Structure 1
């Protein structure tokens, strides 16, 4: 939407520039036409003077010179008027940037100082450690000795991860990826078992028995039943991006980096308490 608006502004600006340029070109063409006409008239007078000098009598020369003086005087007045006219002044095309826009651009320039630091999410299994690599769309599994056992190329970006010991699988969320899903990886077979498509982007995820609980951005906190893949809402409040979830017993803990809080809900989504500390979160 922002790009479309900027494209429209650019298109309007180009149209204005073309209109101003065409107007000035028209003035220049009119001025050149006037000057060419006067140049032709002066050339004609010069030829007449040569002819008069060669063929006219003294009286004819005197009378002709008086007429030429009057003509030259009138032409001089015309040339002076052209010189004084705005059309003969130097024109330059320029643009003026509104102060508000200039301030905005100054603010945008500060974006150059922003850098992105990628930190892979990790989960520790009994004898392995699993990492997600967001921009590389990879899940890598390492032994306790730090040796890479295998990796799985994912169909989208990856964000958070949860492990199910019941069937030895990993559930991986897709973060801000265009492909909105949770991908299930079979650890034993070292490949993707299935992909569960969703209608929202997903970030933090946790396992509780046979249910996956995840932070679904504008869909709030949601739960997927792994048996039939049915989805139910736990908390319907809109959540920011990049939130994490943990479960302990029948309690759900949800982080919020925008408000610097950790919020506790029961399994029905009822608020229990909120912890707030800007220096910690």
Structure 2
């Protein structure tokens, strides 16, 4: 314990006198700004590495499950091939056996006929006159000549060929056991983490230039326009810098772009189940596809699909930041994909739902979970900073967006309202309600360049507000 709480305990140990700025309950000492920031950075790194350790265990489990599932599929496929081969073998044997059985029956009948001829000749010789015997034998010789030709034809036909059954095994199947290839190739990929380490001087500079933040108690929304979209099942909205508004909807599946006066500019009939939409620059729009494990890039100028990016999970709510897309991946949590090399990074493994949305503010991510009616704030390594949950104010939270001061705007679909949550997640206030025309609000987008908030009901109407 530091002998003087007014001084930094760590610096005091090093025989340096610096006044303490904060009290650390963990080490039971006062800390100066530099030591406090250093301690925070150590915690960030430790939290990041602990999360990486946990994610490795989860990834191992997923790979194990995939390997076992592949083995089951291979076993089932080989069992099916074996059954088909056995059935074909049985059919071949049965066909040839039936042919041979028919031939044996024919030959046995001919043997019986010959024996009858021999018996008749003996009887003629014993009881008939020489003339009768001569005539009978001539008649029998004539019949035997015919029978002889019949037997000769049998011996010369293919039915007397030796029949054998053979098998040529599939070489591809044989090579599975003969070659030395691995069941799977396990690789390690190291991706640089966007680990946020703040220096004391940078923090001081930020404090010096920081502008007064807007308090949620003083926020006011002024309706600028009401847009009659006439759309159904809206799943995403975005306000462009040129004042146009983008709406994605799932029924029917399409992207609609509206002018600033509320008239429809054009629409793109979509090829997949349409999810959330976000502008990524270069006249391009990223659109998630919910169940299709795909993120599609739309060219707004050419009004057509530019390319499709395959991912390893479902895709729902999405946000764009610094060349990356952060998207909701249902039971796989939050994921981040680089648009340059399409590499995917796990952000959070906390399970979320098909109707979850995500937003960013600085080094923080905020996402909704309609199953437990919560809004969660975490860092880029999945470390949870706070969680807000109050069903009396916000039920079935869906769309989410953040203003330049960190105030969090959330659409409550069942409470038919828009709620703003303070940056620390401790306080909230209802801004809009059913009385303002909200009926099942689904999505919203805050445009920092114009301080406007675009809100879209799930059906028919959207609203553009100015925030003061």
Distance in 2 separating the partners of 1:266 and 1:236 = 13
1:148 aligns with 2:264: yes
| 1:211 aligned residue (320, 324, 327) | 324
Counterpart mapping for 1:1-281 below 5 A: 118-126=233-241, 127-165=243-281, 167-175=282-290, 177=291, 179-279=292-392, 280-281=394-395
- Preserved contact between residue 246 and residue 254 of structure 1 (Cα < 8 Å): yes
- 8 Å Cα contact 2:288/2:318 also seen in 1: yes
Given that 1:152 and 1:192 are in contact with CA atoms closer than 8 Å, whether structure 2 keeps it comes out as no
Please give the secondary structure, in 2, of the residue aligned with 1:218: helix
- CA distance in 1 between counterparts of 2:322 and 2:302 reads 22
Aligned pairs, number: 162
Secondary structure, counterpart of 1:199 in structure 2: coil
Alpha-carbon separation, structure 1, partners of 2:251 and 2:268: 14
Indicate the RMSD between aligned Cα atoms, in angstroms: 1.4
TM-score (norm 1): 0.55
Deviation digits for residues 123-145 of structure 1, max 9, x if unmatched? Answer: 11122100111121100111111
Deviations 1:133-190 (A, max 9, x none): 112110011111122222112221111111123x221111112x3x221111112222
1:60-94 deviation per Cα after TM superposition (whole angstroms, max 9, x unaligned): xxxxxxxxxxxxxxxxxxxxxxxxxxxxxxxxxxx
Q: 1:121 Cα shift?
A: 2.5
Measure the CA separation in 2 of the matches of 1:197 and 1:152.
Answer: 21
Which runs of at least 4 in structure 1 moved beyond 2 Å after TM superposition? Answer: 117-121
CA contact under 8 A between 1:136 and 1:157: conserved in structure 2?
no
Q: How many angstroms apart in 2 are the aligned matches of 1:164 and 1:266?
A: 22
Question: Is the contact between residue 219 and residue 237 of structure 1 (CA under 8 Å) also seen in structure 2?
Answer: yes
Q: Distance in 2 between matches of 1:257 and 1:174?
A: 19
Secondary structure of the corresponding residue to residue 331 of structure 2: helix
Q: 1:269: how far off?
A: 1.5
Unaligned runs of 5+ in 2: 1-231, 396-468
Gaps of 5+ in 1: 1-116
Give the TM-score, by structure 2 length.
0.34
Q: Residue 120 of structure 1: CA displacement?
A: 4.5
Corresponding residue of 1:103: none
